[in-house]
Amino acid sequence: MTSRSTTVDPLDFLSVESTLSDEERDIRDAVRAFVRSRVLAEVGDWFEQGRVPRELVGELGKLGVLGMHLEGYGCAGTSATAYGLACLELEAGDSGLRSLVSVQGSLAMFAIHRWGSQEQKQEWLPRLAAGEAVGCFGLTEPDSGSDPGSMRTHARRDGDDWVLRGRKMWITNGTWADVAVVWARTDMGIRGFLVPKGTPGFAAQEISKKLSLRASVTAELILDDVRLPASALLPGATSLRGPLSCLNEARFGILWGAAGAARACLAAAIDYSTTRTQFGKPIGAFQIQQHKLAHMAVEVNRATLLALHLGRLKDAGQLRPEQVSMGKLANVNSALDVARTARQVLGANGISLEYPVIRHMVNLESVVTYEGTADVHALVVGAALTGIDAFR
């Protein structure tokens, strides 16, 4: 058996590191350090127990990642690429951690920042950015997922007030949320409302018995004739364009995060294959395992390069929703492939929470579904290629 030293970074084979600015590198390193010191030692237990510490929100606020790509109101105002790098490092820890940050910043906070009144922004954004308050985003319903236009939740006018009735499902941060951004059908189209915790008729019930995203809070929101003042309406959002713009922001973070989950699985597979001995030598010395490692390295680096390119486009103001769909479709599918291959490399140990692979693998089964399923994003790309909308 012949071995030789190499200067190639196994986790950054194509030297993406060299293309980052000093600021991007500093932000990436700060988030990576937080994940290593605060998350990695405990996240397997959190996953097994189906919980996540609430105090993480405040810690993430102090780290500066909540709404970090937004301007003003206590937000860091970083580049889109820097936000993407943060998502990559967060999901290298766990998809649930990145989901918490995505929902807070790219769904709840972005909705208020983009579509809210000045009063709404001043009331909520500084607290959400600091992690002093938690937000959630109520769009998906029990009978309305990929087709949000079919939502049944509705809001009717009653004098100067609005009265909301309906249910929302699979809502990340739901039982923690101090404010829920809820989308409802009205006689004026799809509108968004800010529903504070404790409003009469509003309740959140945690969804249990999940086998994915277990280190994440998921809830059902129930709105039973919830009465809100006119000031609760998001004035800038007057159609489905409102919630869809928020989803596009979240998908951008997801396509970066998936690359992080894939990288974590590759790292585990490399470490295991070079230390696990069978038939008198490390299993990484066998051709079949090296082929798996090479395949995983290709997918991880390709996903990271795609994310970086889309980040640069977004920073230049040139990123299109269809390109985000391609990014999510490609990167999450690649991450799932990497996770499943890594699980095989680890053999029986691949199903143990002593290693991160099975946790990432089952988490990615949720990531491939939320913020638009793989099928939906394939149809978005297909429509862009042909000019024909195949949704209906």
Phi-psi region of 72 (alpha: psi -120 to 50; beta: other; left: phi over 0): left
The answer to whether residue 371 is catalytic is: yes
Residue 16 near residue 305 (C-beta atoms within 8 A): yes
Task: Return d(Cα 179, Cα 137) in angstroms, integer.
Answer: 9
The H or E element spanning position 138 is strand 135-138
Q: Phi/psi at 226 (nearest 5 deg)? A: -80, 120
Given 24, 220, 299, 371, the catalytic residue: 371
Task: Return d(Cα 156, Cα 185) in angstroms, integer.
Answer: 9
Burial profile 228-256: b = 16 or more Cβ within 10 angstroms, e = fewer: beeebbbeebeeeebbbebbbbbbbbbbb
Q: Phi/psi at 212 (nearest 5 deg)? A: -145, 150
Which residues, 6 or more positions from 380, have their beta carbon under 8 angstroms from its beta carbon? Answer: 321, 322, 325, 372
Q: Phi/psi at 157 (nearest 5 deg)? A: -80, 140
Active site residues: 371
